[in-house]
Structure 1
Amino acid sequence: MAKAKRPGCVYSATQFLARLIVWFLAISVGLVLLFRFVPPPLTATMVFDEHGFTKDWTPLSRIDRNMVSAVIGAEDSKFCSHDGFDREAIEQAMARNAKGGRLRGGSTISQQTAKNVFLWQGSGWDRWLRKGLEAWFTFLIETIWTKRRIIEVYLNVAETGIGTYGVEAGAHRYFDKSAARLTRDEAARMAAALPSPKKRAVRNPAGFTRRYANTIAARIGVVRRDGLDACVYE
């Protein structure tokens, strides 16, 4: 006869799972609260970058508005109006992915910030686990941080070149100047390279990157005119 499972074992497993969930919630909320005021010291992407990393945390007050407008115009024009998730963009990405080919996402700046700060890169077997955690951390930063803080952190942790993180380090690398002095065209070129910073040239872009940078430079004016970056400077 098969032995019945002891109630104590089932209870212990349930109790362990419950404690694990409570600890995860406490730690995740605690980290988000901490980074509301303290710069994230490192990210998993930096730690595992085979090229090492260079970064220089810079307050948003010392980053030219051109850079803020450029990334909003290039990556997330609804940044100031959504709650962290652009549902229309997600639905469009799902429709494209259903047709086959390379998977493409519909991530907002908030989602990218959550992934960059709290999670890891990759598209392997753990993709859906990471996406679930990304949604949780996106909800947390949208609830606990301000929009200004979200974009400030994003501009400081985003990969801007090989072994280079943040727009301050990127500005020095490509233009030998501070991010506080970026021109519209320079900010547009950096924003154009953000989706693939190891492959796209910033200093002397050509082909698609050059055309995309020109488009972003034009969008900066639209962002200002329509107040698409107003939540950052209100």
Structure 2
Amino acid sequence: MAKTSLPRRLLHWIGRALIIFVVGSVLWVAIYRFVPPPITITMLANAVDGRGITKDWMSLDRMDRSMARAAIAAEDGNFCTHHGFDFNAIQKALQSNMEGERRIRGGSTISQQTAKNAFLWQNGGYLRKALEAWFTVLIELLWSKHRIMEVYLNIAETGIGTYGANAGAMRYFHHDASHLNAVEAARIAAILPLPKKRGAVAPTGFTRRYGDRIQRRIAIVQRSGYDGCLR
């Protein structure tokens, strides 16, 4: 019996690995449609660094509506209408960064950020970006927008070792996320891009100005129905 050539064996194993990855990732995403992610790679990395893990899951329906509206106002105005990727926002971010603006802009949607936070790691690179795109497609296919926002607001880092809007609300304002007002929700949303460097209590400088802008946008989100997919 003739032996299988090395290239053919490699292709065989690569094919099997791809099938396992696809099936495994689909099952993983399907499980998280119903089960809160128990832990993430980001949480584990911070725990190894000695920062601990503080989190307290709260359903999106129990959170004050201002928190989801603040996230949309700050991170993804087209959240309810895109299918995971906002190509206009990506183009604007690329153009802004190429023109050398002082603050680097990102074009990631809430769906992309949820995919990254739930299934991947924080550092960049082409591999992570490719995987992020894959998981973004999966959560958009298998989850509702309501679920995507719910997971996002429960696992996003809101301070050193603190994860989720509810844990952030208790850390900064000493009450849970069901009692957030628009000012508090805007301040939590303002620190999401840099949770280790920004504070929601008595913010100053850019963080304060950014939080004020988000607060004003919350009313626009509500009035214009940009959060309609969450109702």
Coarse TM-score class (shorter-chain normalised): over 0.9
Residue 64 of structure 2 aligns with an amino acid whose one-letter code is D
For 1:27 and 1:105, how far apart are their aligned partners in 2? Answer: 29
Q: CA deviation at 1:95?
A: 2.4
- Bigger mean CA deviation after superposition, 57-66 or 77-86: 57-66
Distance 2:129 2:61 in 1: 31
What TM-score, normalized to structure 1? 0.93
Please list, as runs of the form range in 1=range in 2, the aligned pairs for 1:6-17 lying within 5 A after superposition: 7-17=4-14
Alignment match of 1:229 (pick from 224, 227, 230)? 227
The one-letter amino acid paired with 2:26 is: V
Unmatched runs of 5 consecutive residues or more in structure 2: none
Aligned to 1:122: 123
| 1:96–1:202 distance in 2 versus 1, CA, 3 Å | same
Q: Give the aligned CA root-mean-square deviation in angstroms.
A: 1.4
Does 1:37 pair with 2:34?
Answer: yes
Identity %: 55
- How far apart are the structure 2 equivalents of 1:107 and 1:68? 17
Match of 1:63 in 2: 63
TM-score when normalising by structure 2:
0.94
Quick check: 7-16 or 193-202, which moved more? 7-16
- Out of 150, 153, 156, which is 1:152 matched to? 150
Q: What is the CA distance between 1:93 and its match in structure 2?
A: 2.0
How big is the shift at 1:99?
Answer: 4.5
- The answer for the alignment partner of 2:113 in structure 1 is 112
Q: Decide which of 179, 184, 206 is 1:186's aligned counterpart.
A: 184
Distance 2:15 2:87 in 1: 31
- Aligned residue for 2:168, secondary structure, equals helix
Match of 1:3 in 2: none
1:159-178 superposed Cα distances (whole Å, 9 cap, x missing partner) = 00011000111010000001
Looking at structure 1, the residues matched to 174 and 77 of structure 2 have their Cα atoms a distance apart, in angstroms, of 29
Q: Secondary structure, in 3 states, of the residue corresponding to 1:121?
A: coil
Distance 1:94 1:80 in 2: 23
Amino acid at match of 2:36: P
Deviation at 1:97, TM superposition (A): 3.7
For 1:30 and 1:184, locate their aligned partners in 2 and report how far apart those are by CA, in whole Å: 37
Q: Structure 1 residue 100: deviation in Å?
A: 5.9
Structure 1: how far apart are the matches of 2:204 and 2:16? 54
Letter paired with 1:150: I
Please give the secondary structure, in 1, of the residue aligned with 2:52.
Answer: coil
> Do the aligned partners of residues 204 and 92 (structure 1) sit closer, same or farther apart at CA in structure 2, a change above 3 Å counting?
same
State the 1:98 CA deviation: 3.7
Distance in 2, matches of 1:28 and 1:105, equals 26
Match for residue 142 of structure 1? 140
CA displacement at 1:94 relative to structure 2: 2.3
Shift, 1:74, TM fit: 0.7
What do residues 103-125 of structure 1 show as CA deviations (whole Å, max 9, x unaligned)? 643000000000000000113xx
Q: Which residue of 2 aligns with 1:203?
A: 201
| Deviation (angstroms), 1:8 | 2.1
Bigger CA drift: 50-59 or 33-42? 50-59
